[in-house]
Amino acid sequence: MDQKTRIGVIGLGIMGEQYVRVYQDHPLAEVTAVASRTYEKAAAVAARYHVPNVCADWRELVTRPDVDAVCVATPDNLHYEPARAAMEAGKHVLIEKPMTTNLEEADSLLAVAGKAKVKAQVAFNHRWLSSYYQGHAAIEKGSIGRPLVAYARKNDTIYVPTEYISWAAHTTPAWFLSCHDIDLVRWFIGSEPVEARAWGVKQVLLARGIDTYDAIQAQVRFESGAIATFESAWIYPNTFPTIVDSFVEIIGEHGHLHFDRKRESIEVSTNEAFTYPKAFLTADVFGTLRGAYPSCLDDFIRSIREDRPPGAGVYDGRQVTAVLDAIHESLRTGNSAAIL
């Protein structure tokens, strides 16, 4: 395949604009069209990154003959329609996490991707972070024995639901944050989840007029007998030295793995603040974005060009949605919920 893979990006918020930047800098890809909720935003991003076509509607973008693959970077609850339409138009699709916030939609996308025979990847970019990948390799080698227990937390400062995104009331910290951890833990344990029990708190954000959970804790049981606890919150004070506090533990039969990403190998002290700048997922290095996130996007392109399965496919996305669906059903009913 000599021609570059031509990309269309739908949704040009924080992540969507990064999709454009990464692919415009990629040797095997080029962004040929963009679409956003407002034409003005799409036109501004297109001008900034020299994208030739601006679409007034995403429906136009998914049918363009100069688009081979579509990146869906809309808010959590708005992935389904553009992703499905793109697949039905014969386009390969990269969907921002979580794949959907609705299990029926996830099942639909799984079926459509299979019928359309397109490459479909979910941007669970943590799989491309070297420490997580090495941990998975260690488990595969049997270094810690069979995984028995897992704990994962991903907690944000209150800046995220109040300023960083404008649609926090349409999602929860579990959908927004735990989706990454659920994918990782399922990948590490190597077994399918079967049952969930969850508890949540609504107080701080509700008082600010944002109707969503402050924090959620959930326990998930797997077919292998392993159990995992997932914690997500986004009300840490903004004085916390990093936007996200991320930690994962896997306990096996004769060993364990710890992944603590709070510091990411750098501490910065100034007269204004003490911080831990984030550098592992994405960082600007000599004018190019590097890290696990660009590597995830690179893998999507190479899966298309090499005709191989992507590193995190729509079945993985479906299973994460199934876990989160059960977690939110447990929150609603106060009982355990089967993972379907």
Q: What is the pLDDT of residues 56-114, one digit of tens each?
A: 999 999 999 999 999 999 999 999 999 999 999 999 999 999 999 999 999 999 999 99
**What one-character-per-residue DSSP string does 52-70 give?**
SEEESSHHHHTT-TT-SEE
> For the whole model, what pTM was predicted?
0.94
Average pLDDT, the chain: 96
* CA-based nearest residue to 225, from 279, 287, 304, 149: 149
Quick check: 267 pLDDT over 90?
A: yes
Lowest mean pLDDT across 18-32, 203-217, 262-276? 262-276
Instruction: Give the per-residue pLDDT at 169.
Output: 96
Instruction: Give the per-residue pLDDT at 263.
Output: 86
SS3 45: helix
Cα-based distances in Å from 228 to 80, 261, 280: 28, 19, 25
Quick check: 1 pLDDT over 70?
A: no
SS3 221: strand
Instruction: Give the per-residue pLDDT at 101.
Output: 95
DSSP alpha helix (H) spans, the chain: 14-24, 39-49, 58-61, 80-88, 103-116, 130-140, 159, 173, 179-189, 204-207, 292-305, 314-333
Instruction: Give the per-residue pLDDT at 88.
Output: 98
Please report, as a single letter, which amino acid is at residue 129.
Answer: L
As a whole number, mean pLDDT of residues 274-278 equals 91
SS3 306: coil
Share of the chain above pLDDT 90, in %: 97
Residue 324 C-alpha from the chain's centroid: 13
Instruction: Give the per-residue pLDDT at 2.
Output: 72
Quick check: 317 pLDDT over 90?
A: yes
As a whole number, mean pLDDT of residues 304-327 equals 97
Full set of structural domains in the chain with CATH: 5-125+292-313 (3.40.50.720), 129-281+320-338 (3.30.360.10)
Bridge-based pairing of strands 92-95 and 69-72 is: parallel
Structure tokens at 148: 């028995």
As a whole number, mean pLDDT of residues 4-19 equals 96
Q: 233-266 pLDDT, tens per residue?
A: 999 999 999 999 999 999 999 999 999 998 888 9
